[in-house]
Chain A
């Protein structure tokens, strides 16, 4: 755990700007660490080896010394024994023949070659040459010697002496020969010669304070370490060489206590070997390791830098390419090698190419229509904006053509969307061919738009519009179908027709709307009036919504009089709108708006409810007729609406008459007929309004058994003077009679018309001759025909 934490801590503190540096440092560090370990291990082993070999040498020297010492002792003992055993000598000692004794001792001395012999008698008398100090020591020796011991190293005065003792048996112990040899430098030198390594041998004796000090000249100084060493040497069995600090530095030492007569040793033999000397032979090795390590380190640093550069160069290239890609610029990364880096570079290249390509595609998609590939609305607006700006600067003009396909919805519905899409594609392509000098874009659905910038050819917009209309008139082949459509075009020229994109587009749209209104398949230029008209229309729509909400609408009723009997059979409900500011607004103005905006449905609902409610208050024999727009019919809730109105008002169903025009059948005949039947089942009457003005009035008569046909006013006006008009009317009446339908003539304004109609057999009449439309409150009064005439 700690190791991870450590690594993290190091990583945090130590960051590198370059991969190269990081790698170099890493490798160099690793190598340095490895080298250090090797060097450390080597050093440890060298030191250990040196130590152990010196120790071994010291120990073996110690062993050898033991042997030599003992041999020497034995030799001395042998020499003294020879004399001690001599009978004549024994006799001399026993008889106290001093002269003989002394000469015998002298003889012995010469025989041995060094040292001083003494005789010590039982009573402690010492015979022999020597200082008083030595004699005193010698004299005590035999009595101190432990049983069985024949030799000892004793201190006497300032010197240390090896002494051997031979008992003089005559036949019992009567004395001893003591031979004393001083331990000095010469002895030590002799010992040193024996060792393979240049040891230094020193004899240590106790000084006055009891501390160990060299008895001979030496570099060994008095120290606690020394005392301790000697202590240890005495106690431990296996005396191994130790390291202590001497004056000249650290040294391996072996201390050999020399046996005393009794008790504690009085002398210690110290072998010493400086540590530095031990390690000296290995200096060369250590130096070699160090040197090799340094060279190796340099090599590693250099090598790792090269390696790191080799690794980091492609990475740096990748890094740079990535950063430039970030900026939006694509750069290729050179692919070196077939390893991970090479593969990475390749992948990066592919990836960045892919990114760039996708970016382009996205940009393209953002600005182009997916289906046709033409510029989309967003792009179109941008371009138009730019063109407008340039036009303003150059004081030129920009023409916008808004195109709408006529009857495209029909194609989609009848042939399916795939065909519709194919058609759009083809149209798009054709537009592009025709408007090479402009920018064709698809705004959505079946709407296209073309921007024509100001150019040399005047009237180009007009020409282009006509070309397009002509081309679109011809049937096209799309997805295996032969399709004929048309196109309506609205043209607006900016900056006159609009200084900004929104205004210009709106006006081009208005022009398009006008083109559609004018029958489709044509082009129209924008006129400011269009704008006004459009504004007016919009305003009316808003007002109409308010009208419905705030009860500005009301119903008036125009009576429909039965020809036979002169009584009012029915009242047609007519919608009136009292605008708070503008006053009465004609239904001719607001009904189309209502139908365009779909308000007609809610208005129609209101009308039905209101009419049935008011009609409930009328006499039972009087019906109420309500106009119903095709839009209301298409609304799925119409049937239940009728039902609700009847239920809520309580009006008997057969008192309600619904007037519909032929346009109700335009979209789809069957559902309409089905609905009519169901309304009929309720008991409600159905009348066909504006008969004769539509396209196939007769066939509609066939499809449904209407209760009534209302002859359009256009047939009634001036019909009294016109024979053909009379004939037509008669035909209609006959037809209706034949089909068991009532007839109502609209727009009857004079008596002549009335007489004629009577003659023809028209069931009922409607018009100003009898009454204008009146409010519900006056209806009751009018049910009497007398009042009717009077009112007229």
Chain B
């Protein structure tokens, strides 16, 4: 199948420009380190900063968005997509998979399909969609649908760096698969300055 590239409407491009201009003028960098309650760095956590007025996630996260099934696992485990993104679910295994999600942002199921690359799903609500395979209980993946362009996954050291965050009030959100909190994420207010900010967030994880 040929890739379908997401179209960026001209209107949306216009919207971005002033934002970009504004960004360039009063923006800072936020370094966030996520730790578990026992002090260990938490990898594969998603750090998001909601800045008012900034909903141009699509600009930051260009496609294509692919959640493949390979070696009886979702690849990547965590996929950050903007709202409205169309994510394809190629099955690169020899066995069939029955992908499903009962998460609030998107309830769907891709009933038992084999090696093909034709299935895809569009995620038009922000949130976290937990993916599972009906056949393979061990398969677990997450699609983080964000509307803020400031979202990234922590590395092995639990660190992530978000640049160009407009100064001023914002909301820092952290999500992790094991986080003990409703929805698996916590949120806290954040004041962004032009100077770089380093923040450590400790979360209670299972």
Report which A residues bind B (CB closer than 8 A): 85, 87, 90-91, 94-95, 123, 169-172, 174
Contacts and interface: CB of A to CB of B under 8 A. Distances in A.
B107 A171 contact: no
B131 interface: yes
Nearest to B102: A94
Contacts of B139: 171
Given A169-B137, A170-B102, A95 B132 contact: no
Contacts of B133: 171
Interface string B115-143: 00000000000000011111001011000
Contacts of B107: 94-95
Interface in B7-30: none
B177 interface: yes
A125 to B, nearest CB: 13
B134 A172 contact: no
* Pairs A-B, 3 closest by C-beta atoms: A171-B132, A94-B102, A87-B134
B137 A90 contact: no
Nearest to A122: B182
Interface of B: 98, 100-102, 107, 130-134, 137, 139-140, 177, 182
Contacts of B137: 85, 169, 171
Nearest to A91: B102
Contacts of A91: 100, 102
Contacts of B130: 170-172
Nearest to B177: A172
A123 B180 CA distance: 12
Given A91-B100, A94-B107, 20 more contacts: A85-B137, A87-B100, A90-B102, A94-B102, A95-B102, A169-B132, A169-B137, A170-B100, A170-B102, A170-B130, A170-B132, A171-B131, A171-B132, A171-B133, A171-B139, A171-B140, A172-B130, A172-B132, A172-B140, A174-B102
Contacts of A171: 100-101, 130-133, 137, 139-140
B45 to A, nearest CB: 15
A684 to B, nearest CB: 159
Contacts of A95: 102, 107
Contacts of B101: 171
A382 to B, nearest CB: 133
A90 B182 CA distance: 19
Nearest to B138: A171
B72 to A, nearest CB: 13
8 contacts: A87-B98, A94-B107, A95-B102, A169-B132, A170-B102, A171-B101, A171-B140, A172-B140
Nearest to A90: B102
B73 to A, nearest CB: 12
Nearest to B131: A171
A92 to B, nearest CB: 10
Nearest to A174: B102
A153 B140 CA distance: 32
A264 to B, nearest CB: 24
Contacts of B182: 123
Contacts of A85: 137
Contacts of B100: 87, 91, 170-171
A171 B137 CA distance: 7
A94 B109 CA distance: 13
Contacts of B102: 90-91, 94-95, 170, 174
Contacts of B177: 172
A152 to B, nearest CB: 19
Contacts of B134: 87
Contacts of A90: 102
A138 B73 CA distance: 34
Contacts of B132: 169-172
A169 B182 CA distance: 16
A174 B184 CA distance: 12
Nearest to A170: B102
Which residue, of A94, A95, A123, A174, has the highest number of chain B Cβ atoms within 10 A? A94
A483 to B, nearest CB: 149
A502 B137 CA distance: 152
A170 B139 CA distance: 11
A192 B200 CA distance: 59
Contacts of A169: 132, 137
Nearest to A93: B102
A321 to B, nearest CB: 107
Contacts of A123: 182
A121 to B, nearest CB: 12
Nearest to A96: B102
A20 B65 CA distance: 119
A3 B107 CA distance: 97
A315 B101 CA distance: 115
Contacts of A94: 102, 107
B8 to A, nearest CB: 33
A90 B135 CA distance: 13
A85 B137 CA distance: 9
A476 to B, nearest CB: 149
B134 to A, nearest CB: 5
Nearest to B141: A171
A124 to B, nearest CB: 12
A90 B130 CA distance: 13
Contacts of A172: 130, 132, 140, 177
A169 B131 CA distance: 11
A403 B86 CA distance: 180
**Which of A87, A170, A171 gathers most chain B CB within 10 Å?**
A171
Contacts of B131: 171
A792 to B, nearest CB: 182
A693 to B, nearest CB: 168
Nearest to A87: B134
A90 B98 CA distance: 14
B117 to A, nearest CB: 22
A85 B136 CA distance: 11
Nearest to B101: A171
A417 B101 CA distance: 159
A286 B102 CA distance: 75
A600 to B, nearest CB: 152
A171 B130 CA distance: 7
Contacts of A87: 98, 100, 134
Contacts of A174: 102
Scoring A123, A169, A172 by chain B CB atoms within 10 A of each residue's CB, the highest score goes to A172
A87 B100 CA distance: 10
B85 to A, nearest CB: 21
A38 to B, nearest CB: 68
A171 B100 CA distance: 8
A94 B139 CA distance: 18
A170 B102 CA distance: 7
A123 B182 CA distance: 8
A170 B101 CA distance: 7
Residue of B102, B131, B132 contacting most chain A CB atoms (<10 Å): B102
B145 to A, nearest CB: 16
Nearest to B206: A147
Nearest to A86: B134
Interface hub of B101, B134, B140, B177 (most chain A Cβ within 10 A): B134
A85 B138 CA distance: 12
A172 B137 CA distance: 10
Contacts of B140: 171-172
A337 to B, nearest CB: 99
Nearest to B178: A172
A94 B129 CA distance: 13
Residue among B100, B131, B133, B140 with the highest chain A CB neighbour number at 10 A: B100
A204 B140 CA distance: 43
A756 B102 CA distance: 210
A169 B134 CA distance: 10
Nearest to B74: A171
B64 to A, nearest CB: 24
B9 to A, nearest CB: 34
A94 B182 CA distance: 15
A170 B140 CA distance: 10
B37 to A, nearest CB: 15
A101 to B, nearest CB: 13
